[in-house]
Structures are given as C-alpha cells and as structure tokens.
Amino acid sequence: MKRVFGLFMVALVWSCNTDDEPMDQMQEVTFLGEVDWIKNFGGSGEDTAQKIIQTTDGGYAVLGFSNSTDGDIAEKTTNVNDYWLLKLDAEGNLQWSKTYGGSKDDRGQSVVQTTDGGYAIVGYAMSNDGDGSNNEGFHDSWILRLDTSGNILWEKSFGFSGHDHSYDVIQTADGGFFFSGFLDVTSSGGSGNDGKGNYLTRHGVGEFWGTKLDADGNLQWRRYFGGTNNDRSFAVVQANDGSFLLTGASESNDFDIKNSNGSYDFWVIKVSDKGELLWEKSFGGSGIDKAYDIVKSKDDGYLITGNTFSTDVDISKNNGESDVWLIKIDDNGNLIWEKTYGGTAFDAARGIGLTADGGFVIAGNSKSSDGDATENQGENDLWVIKTDDQGNVEYQKTFGGSGLDYGFDAIQNKEGSLILVGETASEDFAGTEPKGMTDLVVIKIK
C-alpha cells in the first residue's frame, strides 16, 4: 500500500508562561513525516491512553486507565480500572507513573498541567475507598489535584445515584477548574442544576453537565443542558470573554435543543462564566453525528471534530460508512466550513490539537484503505491527520496491526513533531513488544 508523507514548514513561536510577556523564541522546522519512535506501556491486562499534553520541561503527561497489576503498573493490587498517569521525558522514556482509584471501576479521561507545574485529572469513578473519599452511586465525576510528582493534593467527587461522567478539564483564567461531561438527570431527581431549581419535568436521560470549581476544589456552580433524550458533552474550552464552549453529541430535539438535524448531532453550547446559556447550535445531517473534541483556533474560531454517518444537511461529502468530520465555527456558533476525511469503511476522530502554523492535528482510527486513508494493517488502526488552517490534508498516516487499535489524542510538540496516543490490541504492531491484552501506545512523528 502507498504511504502518504507530507513536507511542510512549521514556524514555531513559543512564549513564556504569562500572556503579557513577549514572544522570546522562534524556530523554523521541516516536518518530514518520519516515525521517530514508538513506545508501548502496560501490563498483562487492559491499558489505554485517553489524553496527552506536553509538559513545561519538554516531556509529556499521558492519562488513561488500567486494570493491570504487573508490568509498568506493578504497584496496583486489584485488577479493576484505575486512573493511570504517566510522566515521560522528551524521548518517550518513562520517568514515573501513578494510579489512582479504589476497588471499583475508575477511568481517567483528561489531564491538564496547572500553572504551578502540577496536574489536574478528571474522569469517572465508582470507588469510595482507596484514593476516593466519596461516591454517591455508580459512576461519579472525579477530579484530583496533583503536585509535580503526581502526589494527591486534594480530590473531589461529584454525582448522584446514577451514571455521571466527566470527560474534559481545563484550568480557568481565575485559577479554578471547569470540567464537562454528562449527568444522569433522571437518577439525580433533577438535582445538579444548582441555583436553577428542579428541572426533572423538562429534561431526562442524560444532559451536558458543566461544573465550575475554585482553585481548592470547592464547588462554585454547576449546570446541565439538553433535552429528553441522550446528550453528552465530551470537551470544553474557555472563550476569550471567560465563557465556556461545551461540545459533544445530542439525540434530543426539544427543550434546550432548538434545531436538531437528525438522530445524533454535533451539539455546541456557549455558557457564561456564571453558567447561563448564551447560545446553542446543532450541526450534522439525518444520520448519527458525534463530536468528541474542540480546540480554539488562532483567529478565535473553534474547531470541532468527531465522526459522521450523514450524507446531507451540513455534510457536503461522505466517503462511506462513518467519516472523520471537522467543522469550524465562529464565536457566535456560525458554521464557517466543514470537511470530511475517510474511505469506504469506518473512520472516526477522537481528539484535535492546534499546530504552530495555525493548522490542526487530528487523532482517531480508521478501517479504510482507500480515500484519504491509504493503508490499513487490519481492523481499526490509529490514524493521525495534519491539516492546514482551512482543513486541507497535509499529512496522514495509520499505525496498527491485525487487531483492534485506536487513537484518542494528538498534539504538536514545541519542536514541530506530532505525538499520537491510543491503545493497541495487536501483537504484530510494528515497533512494539506487546505486554498484555491492550497496551497504551505513544508515537512520535518528526
């Protein structure tokens, strides 16, 4: 199969930690599209990565979850899922790893490095023992604040008697935290909309749920938004005016959702820094369309990615089955442009990052060997796509073996290389030595 390699120049500009300090470094890099290294981590069980960030020392922090009790997770004693945080150096070597959880199912989803060099991690947890001090029933949103070595400074659980999840976290401009996910509002009895009363008569099943904390983890406010069906927020960013944009998937066509297009839509809401709904927009077609990540562009627009099964309304082209779908909207929620990527089989995106040249890097998975994806090793492969600022493909590559392999997140590092993370179940994944049922995998492309 033919591989596609891209050559493009990246002008990198990096500043100091505060926005009011001047840009102090510029470097021009030629991206070669060559694999620099592939690393896999795990034990004999199931291990996965969900999120990667570059840390201030030039290394990386990767968050996922693991049910292994051996290999790289030797300190674990129970074979249930725990949050798993790995600290890697710039070459992908493991510096330390920590697990967080208890005797039940705890799954880490997102990590951010805090302004003091520590970390905040979120996900959803069932445990009320071990590292978790409280659980209200089934899964709760669970946030942990860590120091630079991964030691717990504080942890807080938020939820009710049902399945309540968080998927993304940011540190806010005031030094606090905001995380997004969904609330099982039927099980909560309408609770979870602090200060807005009991909404059980107008909402049901799952809702977008946003929670604002101060720097010490104290609850400031939380709000849910949605309709009578299943609505889940998977990502959030803070806008320049201090408000928040939450995105995910909505199955509803009533209450807060005014203009549904089909079965599931990309749904985007903007809420004020006090939790008031400012606007909401649905994007998609008559099929199933789900958004999983959002990033703010250099011109203060927003890029949202996920997958689409639709062939109509907002989707101008579908290559077959499910495609990766990328849309750009402005600060008022107006659609500026949209692009699909894929082949005749199932293709989907789970993460997006901004690149130094104003373009974007997308992480996902592909079963196609045609169209935009020119090679498939078998079943699902990890798939990384680099686009320019208009969404045109500059580079793409798949990684995998004969088993099920998934990409969940990607970033561009300070040197212009792409870093892709996910999981592999393939024993014949090139460049790896399998450790268990699934391994966490990190790939650097220079």
Encode pLDDT of 236-265 as tens digits: 999 999 999 999 999 999 999 999 998 999
* Token pair belonging to 70: 């051996």
CA 95 – CA 180 distance, rounded (Å):
30
pLDDT at 211: 98
pLDDT at 345: 98
CA 420 – CA 356 distance, rounded (Å):
16
* Token pair belonging to 346: 């199932």
pLDDT at 150: 98
- 110 Cβ neighbours under 8 A, 6+ residues apart: 50, 51, 63, 121, 122, 123, 166, 167, 168, 169, 179
CA 65 – CA 99 distance, rounded (Å):
8
CA 131 – CA 114 distance, rounded (Å):
20
Is 419 in contact with 446 (CB distance < 8 Å)? no
pLDDT at 30: 80
pLDDT at 269: 98
pLDDT at 15: 36
Encode pLDDT of 328-349 as tens digits: 999 999 999 999 999 999 999 9
CA 222 – CA 347 distance, rounded (Å):
34
Cβ of 118: how many Cβ atoms within 10 Å?
16
Report domain extents, the chain: 36-445
Run of H or E residues at 171: strand 165-171
State which residues of the chain have pLDDT below 70: 1-29, 195-202
Run of H or E residues at 385: strand 381-387
Burial class (CB in 10 A: 0-12, 13-18, 19+), 12: middle
Q: What distances in angstroms separate CA 57 from CA 61, 99, 175, 197, 330, one per listed residue?
A: 11, 22, 21, 46, 33
Q: Under CATH, which number does the domain 36-445 receive?
A: 2.120.10.30
pLDDT at 23: 32
pLDDT at 196: 66
CA 403 – CA 427 distance, rounded (Å):
7
pLDDT at 295: 98
Q: Which amino acid is at 165?
A: H
CA 62 – CA 420 distance, rounded (Å):
11
pLDDT at 243: 98
Which residue, 96, 90, 120, is CA-closest to 108?
Answer: 120
Residues in a beta bridge with 120: 112, 145
pLDDT at 202: 59
